């Protein structure tokens, strides 16, 4: 099995003040005023064949059990949401949210919050399964899309190279350009391509995290953080994260001076921890590596696909358990960890409930005193809410069922 095939199988095994008018038997829009830390959580529930999108406020109250689902009426392509849907890394603060239908669909869906209506859809596949991973709005008429896969046979239509950052106009919507990232891998063997995984806008500065794999996913090189110029759509700088591979999660510190990068390594099939770890990057000037924690410092598991700041200098992240590849026996469970990056002390908050690959996305909102984790197993699939204090200390979690009619387990979390 190739690495990409394994990752897909792994993901299949995994990874008040509002009104909620009924739009259809399946969809509820919401109208909620933003607070100091936004409006709430976007929860993507999935069995990796179909999905549902729910909304919670930061106290854990359900705003909408189903804003969109695989039964939602399409706005153009006639194709329902697949089971591989995520939300953008950055908070979504407008009148609609974007859902990223990744593989093999390659479609962005723009969903109005108040009506739950799909305003528009935009295919970013351009003739091949481009596997979009993230969406970053810049203005009302400009946004970036990270396309993970490269096209093995480009040149047949516009913007079909892949492994790039697409420039799109969400108001139309339409593709308007592409940023070639190949210069970020200068000096590497030709087998490696960028594989952009995450995007963030920090006070007008745009950053992209590149996982940097071979196109057959059997190997990887050191991941990169690149800074992009939103005015010229070009690369400003490249920071090589030496010895860290499979870096696919990115978080911004509360003071916006630091980025946390979580890296899985490249051999998740066997639970190997080589090249897996956390990197803390100072971004006050040109990005530079400030601190590094290898996965071995936290135990025997590789790091997972999610990281978030609970407070300045305090991170919440997960690790991935695994089965023995020959016997199929359980070898390790997922863990949810809290790390004090100053002292290096970490605490295991909990393990997955009997199965690996069931702890998913994490999101912290320090200004609202809460962190959340998606748990596909506990309480028949729940979002765990941890109250936190100003120094990032965690209370015991409460389990929230965001959607109860269909019962799909929660996998990914976003903020709106």
In a domain, 242, yes or no: yes
In a domain, 51, yes or no: yes
Complete DSSP assignment for 60-93: S-EEEEEEEETTSPPSSS-----S-EE--SS---
In a domain, 85, yes or no: no
pLDDT for residue 68 is more than 80: yes
**SS3 of residue 8 by DSSP:** helix
In a domain, 120, yes or no: no
**SS3 of residue 262 by DSSP:** strand
CATH number at residue 268: 2.120.10
Cβ(179)–Cβ(235) under 8 Å?
A: yes
Range in 6-10, 21-25, 249-253, 339-343 with the lowest mean pLDDT: 21-25
pLDDT for residue 27 is more than 80: no
pLDDT for residue 252 is more than 60: yes
pLDDT for residue 10 is more than 80: no
How confident is residue 215, by pLDDT bands cut at 50, 70 and 90?
confident
Q: Mean pLDDT over residues 285-314, rounded?
A: 97
Q: Which of 307, 217, 324 is nearest to 267 (CA)?
A: 217
pLDDT of residue 78: 63
The pLDDT tens digits of the residues spanning 322-331 come to: 888 788 889 8
The pLDDT tens digits of the residues spanning 91-140 come to: 999 999 999 999 999 999 999 999 999 999 999 999 999 999 999 999 99
| Secondary structure letter of residue 176 according to DSSP | E
Q: What share of the chain is helix, strand, coil (3-state, %, to 5)?
A: 5, 45, 45
Higher-confidence residue of 270 and 203: namely 203
CA atoms within 13 Å, Cβ hemisphere of 60: 17
The pLDDT tens digits of the residues spanning 69-88 come to: 998 766 665 678 999 999 99
The pLDDT tens digits of the residues spanning 337-390 come to: 999 999 999 999 999 999 999 999 999 999 999 999 999 999 999 999 999 999
Contacts of 135 (CB under 8 A, 6+ apart): 88, 98, 100, 108, 143, 144, 145, 146, 199
pLDDT for residue 208 is more than 90: yes
How confident is residue 219, by pLDDT bands cut at 50, 70 and 90?
confident
Q: Mean pLDDT over residues 51-60, rounded?
A: 97
pLDDT of residue 15: 35
Cβ(349)–Cβ(394) under 8 Å?
A: yes
pLDDT for residue 22 is more than 50: no
In a domain, 42, yes or no: yes
CA atoms within 13 Å, Cβ hemisphere of 58: 22
pLDDT for residue 26 is more than 80: no
Cβ(231)–Cβ(251) under 8 Å?
A: no
pLDDT of residue 5: 38
pLDDT of residue 394: 98
In a domain, 141, yes or no: no
Domain count, the chain: 1
> Domain residues for 17?
3-80+191-415
pLDDT of residue 77: 59
In a domain, 383, yes or no: yes
Range in 10-14, 25-29, 46-50 with the lowest mean pLDDT: 10-14
- Give dist(CA 310, CA 387) in Å, integer: 10
Cβ(405)–Cβ(413) under 8 Å?
A: no
Range in 22-36, 284-298, 386-400 with the lowest mean pLDDT: 22-36
Considering the chain, what is the average pLDDT of its residues? 91
Q: Mean pLDDT over residues 276-305, rounded?
A: 97
In a domain, 345, yes or no: yes
The pLDDT tens digits of the residues spanning 170-198 come to: 999 999 999 999 999 999 998 999 999 99
Burial class from Cβ neighbours inside 10 Å (0-12, 13-18, 19+) for residue 298 reads: buried
- Give dist(CA 208, CA 402) in Å, integer: 31
pTM of the entire predicted model: 0.92
pLDDT for residue 9 is more than 70: no
**Long-range pairs of 88-91 with CB within 8 A, sequence gap ≥ 24:** 88/134, 88/135, 88/136, 88/137, 88/199, 88/414, 89/134, 89/136, 89/198, 89/199, 89/200, 89/250, 89/414, 90/136, 90/137, 90/199, 90/200, 90/201, 91/38, 91/414, 91/415, 91/416
pLDDT of residue 263: 98
């Amino acid at each position: 099995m190739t690495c990409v095939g394994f990752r897909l199988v792994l993901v299949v095994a995994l990874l008040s003040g509002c009104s909620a008018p009924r739009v259809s038997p399946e969809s509820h829009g919401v109208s909620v005023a933003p607070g100091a830390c936004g409006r709430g959580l976007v929860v993507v529930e999935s069995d990796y064949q179909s999905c549902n999108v729910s909304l919670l406020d930061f106290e854990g109250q359900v705003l909408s059990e189903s804003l969109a689902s695989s039964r939602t009426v399409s706005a153009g392509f006639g194709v329902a949401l697949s089971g591989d849907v995520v939300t953008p890394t950055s908070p979504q603060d407008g009148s609609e949210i974007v859902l990223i239908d990744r593989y093999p669909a390659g479609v962005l869906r723009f969903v109005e919050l108040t009506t739950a209506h799909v305003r528009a859809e935009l295919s970013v596949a351009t003739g091949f399964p481009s596997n979009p991973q993230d969406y970053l709005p810049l203005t009302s008429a400009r946004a970036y899309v990270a396309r993970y896969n490269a096209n093995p046979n480009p040149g047949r239509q516009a913007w079909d190279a892949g492994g790039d950052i697409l420039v799109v106009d969400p108001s139309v919507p339409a593709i308007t350009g592409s940023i070639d990232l190949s210069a970020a891998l200068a000096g590497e063997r030709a087998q490696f391509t960028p594989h952009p995984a995450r995007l963030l806008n920090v006070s007008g500065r745009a950053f992209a995290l590149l996982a940097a794999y071979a196109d057959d996913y059997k190997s990887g090189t050191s991941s990169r953080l690149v800074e992009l110029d939103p005015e010229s759509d070009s690369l400003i700088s490249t920071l090589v994260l030496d010895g860290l591979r499979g870096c696919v999660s990115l978080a911004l510190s509360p003071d916006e001076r630091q980025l946390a990068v979580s890296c899985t390594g490249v051999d998740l099939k066997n639970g190997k921890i080589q090249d897996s770890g956390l990197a803390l990057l100072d971004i006050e000037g040109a990005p530079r590596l400030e601190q590094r924690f290898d996965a071995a410092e936290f135990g025997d598991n590789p790091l997972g696909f999610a990281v978030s700041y609970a407070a300045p200098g305090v991170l919440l992240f997960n690790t991935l358990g695994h089965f023995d590849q020959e016997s199929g026996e359980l070898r390790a469970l997922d863990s949810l960890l809290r790390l004090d990056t100053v002292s290096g002390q970490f605490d295991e908050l909990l393990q997955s409930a009997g199965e690996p690959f069931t702890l998913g996305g994490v999101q912290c909102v320090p200004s609202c005193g809460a962190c959340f984790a998606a748990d596909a197993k506990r309480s028949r699939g729940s979002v765990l809410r941890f109250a936190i204090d100003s120094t990032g200390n965690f209370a015991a979690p409460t389990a929230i069922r965001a959607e109860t009619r269909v019962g799909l387990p929660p996998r990914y979390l976003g903020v709106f």
